[in-house]
Structure 1
């Protein structure tokens, strides 16, 4: 009988290698090199978001003033106090001061030019005799210009980048001090100390500005959310009132019209057909009311999803209007091109509102409805004569919301609307809607 071998114990993974001093130093050096070679901000000018033009131009004026000051001052100090010949002094002044023009938009790239130039200038001064009042390794113009560079860095870069710059500055100062300790008279340490102060102050100012900007953005978002919530609450309130008032009365009209032939005996056939038409119109109005309520109660505000009426249903509008006692003629183009959905719905609503206004304000007036197209525009024309039936109109006054709604629909489609009374006492509504898509209006156009 064969025996199975004993199970092998599970092998434990080997412990991770200990991060030694050399590997840690390499990792930190790689981090410093990455920070110094990758700016943390795009090449946008300082104060680019300022509201006024002079504020946006201010950084450029400052850097131009710095360069115009430091170039001649550096040349004068190097030639008079350090005895450097004019050619070398001019080259060092240009290399150390002209890159300050980049402080407004690329301070880290400017540091990569100024920092080696400052070290090269300190090394060049080693070839000249020591004077009584010399400051080495960083002459006064070099030190002050470098502090301005550190301030520009602190206003744009992250803490790690600033720490890497400060470490590199301190390392260069220490190496130069060790090379010639007898010449080093305190400027090496002074640059390290003042550089740390400038970096801390600049970083504090930048972080405070970032905090205020984030706070402003959060307040803007909160205000937009409050406005959105207020809008949704108002839409819900309107939907509730429409349901409680309009939908209830329309339901009552539907029930009464449907039951009239059964409640009233001896009605002629024409009256029964009229009640049936009233009930059908009421049911259609209820269906549209339900779609409107669903839109008002929707939070995504994407619009109605159900198929919307269009030009193909204008004939039904005219038939209903004729049954209401308004003599109406319809002229509808037979070769109608493809009409965009927004234009199709707008044309239907314009005819609907115009006929409703005639029924309310000029009952019995002869009305002509025309929907034509020339291939580029859809023209909707509704013209009515003066009311011929005696008696007062159904509504002596109006709110004007119907015309406002027409203008809004026409504006959204990029068309034009012309409305107004006619000399004979009638009224005219003419809309011209483009069939090609119209780009949305920009902020400059509004």
Structure 2
């Protein structure tokens, strides 16, 4: 039984996407085994004059492990290499013609080349070099006892085996390089998405800081001026207002420190008042002046500043996406307040149709990905939901539902 830490060996090319590629090593090994086993017996007995039992044993030892090579090529090499050397020594006991190959007959060379291909696809460079050195060493050692003298044909296995190891090793390393590159691209894409999300959250936090800071400033002013605006306050009540004002001022200082962490040198316009529902009409008018047919249904509801800011940014980003990806498309923008069992909610709807004609080229090359990410983050932070996606006619729809009572109304 294998331990929990050990993984069963995978077959060669098991990670291929196509089924026929995964089955290819098994098919090649099976064909070689079926073809070489009887051929080896026939050649060793008929041509070389080797005993039938010995020839059969050598044929099985040299051919059957080719099936094992699909899963464990190094172990299969150990068996076949020993069988090839044993076969060369066994041939020294018989008198065969000089024209016949020795120390390794043609069938052994064919099987060994297939084995080297399997080794190259699985093992490291160091292992492949050691395998080739062992092959060359066996060739050289057997050359000293050659019955007919040394010849160029006697080193055929060393040459062909080395070529097979080199080619298969190069293919394996190329595949590994491509796999690592694909993994790195996947990691980079995930990191880009994570960075985009963090940048958008930081930008939203900077904007929400101004909203919260405004409320804290109002609290501070009201607490500081309470004793002048209200007559006859008891001393302990005045002390309470003074404590409230001091606490609010400390909170403002801490928030400014937090904002200093969130701000960066590239952020501009941070001191400008944050837009809300009343500014959406100006945004739509500016888009219409740029040549976009936009219809706007306004809403004059009194909503929290954070909700108004989120609604404005959602409309702003949605209109920007229409300009980028569907210039000239008719667009409808509506902001409405509705009531339900869970309370009131604000609905922001931006729907555009297909563009009159496909743009010749995109207005932007490779967007930053902030659009939908930013909209979803804004809606999530105020407890709402966002529904965005293409329409059957080729248009696009963005619908945000933001609760006005602090919880999702969906």
Give the TM-score normalised by structure 2.
0.55
Paired position in structure 2 for 1:211 = 177
Paired position in structure 2 for 1:237 = 203
The one of 346, 356, 359 equivalent to 1:397 is 346
- Residue 102 of structure 2 corresponds to residue 136 of structure 1: yes
Paired position in structure 1 for 2:359 = none
> Aligned to 1:155, what secondary structure does the other structure show?
helix
C-alpha change, 1:191 and 1:42, in structure 2 (3 Å) is farther
> For each residue in 1:258-284, what CA deviation from the matched residue of structure 2 results, as whole angstroms up to 9, or x when unmatched?
246334345999xx99x97xx79x96x
C-alpha change, 1:385 and 1:191, in structure 2 (3 Å) is closer
Paired position in structure 2 for 1:180 = 146
- Residue 9 of structure 2 corresponds to residue 43 of structure 1: yes
Q: Which runs of 5+ in 2 are unaligned?
A: 1-6, 264-302, 308-338, 349-377, 386-406
> For each residue in 1:354-406, what CA deviation from the matched residue of structure 2 results, as whole angstroms up to 9, or x when unmatched?
xx99xx9xxxxxxxxxxxxxxxxxxxxxxx9989xxxxx9x663469579948
- Rounded to whole Å, the distance in 1 between the matches of 2:150 and 2:143 is 6
> For each residue in 1:164-200, what CA deviation from the matched residue of structure 2 results, as whole angstroms up to 9, or x when unmatched?
2112111211222221241655432111121222222
How much has 1:163 moved relative to structure 2? 1.9
C-alpha change, 1:406 and 1:429, in structure 2 (3 Å) is closer
Paired position in structure 2 for 1:167 = 133
Residues 41, 56 of structure 2: 8 Å contact kept: yes
- Rounded to whole Å, the distance in 2 between the matches of 1:89 and 1:297 is 80
The one of 117, 125, 138 equivalent to 1:151 is 117
> Aligned to 1:138, what secondary structure does the other structure show?
coil
How much has 1:94 moved relative to structure 2? 0.8
The one of 203, 210, 219 equivalent to 1:254 is 219
How much has 1:56 moved relative to structure 2? 3.1
Residues 101, 154 of structure 2: 8 Å contact kept: no
- Rounded to whole Å, the distance in 2 between the matches of 1:403 and 1:236 is 12
Say which one has the larger Rg. Answer: 1
> Aligned to 1:50, what secondary structure does the other structure show?
coil
Q: Which runs of 5+ in 1 are unaligned?
A: 1-40, 299-355, 361-383, 388-392, 408-427, 431-446
Across the aligned residues of Structure 1 and Structure 2, the Cα RMSD in angstroms comes to 4.6
> For each residue in 1:41-86, what CA deviation from the matched residue of structure 2 results, as whole angstroms up to 9, or x when unmatched?
9833222332344433332333223222221221222233223343
Give the TM-score normalised by structure 1.
0.51
C-alpha change, 1:64 and 1:404, in structure 2 (3 Å) is farther
> For each residue in 1:325-380, what CA deviation from the matched residue of structure 2 results, as whole angstroms up to 9, or x when unmatched?
xxxxxxxxxxxxxxxxxxxxxxxxxxxxxxx99xx9xxxxxxxxxxxxxxxxxxxx
Residues 138, 187 of structure 1: 8 Å contact kept: no
Paired position in structure 2 for 1:108 = 74
Aligned length in residues: 278
Give the number of the structure with larger relative contact order, counting CA–CA contacts within 8 Å between residues 6 or more apart.
2
> Aligned to 1:397, what secondary structure does the other structure show?
strand
> For each residue in 1:224-249, what CA deviation from the matched residue of structure 2 results, as whole angstroms up to 9, or x when unmatched?
333333233222211211112x1222
> Aligned to 2:123, what secondary structure does the other structure show?
coil
- Rounded to whole Å, the distance in 2 between the matches of 1:264 and 1:290 is 28
Paired position in structure 2 for 1:345 = none
Residues 151, 202 of structure 1: 8 Å contact kept: yes
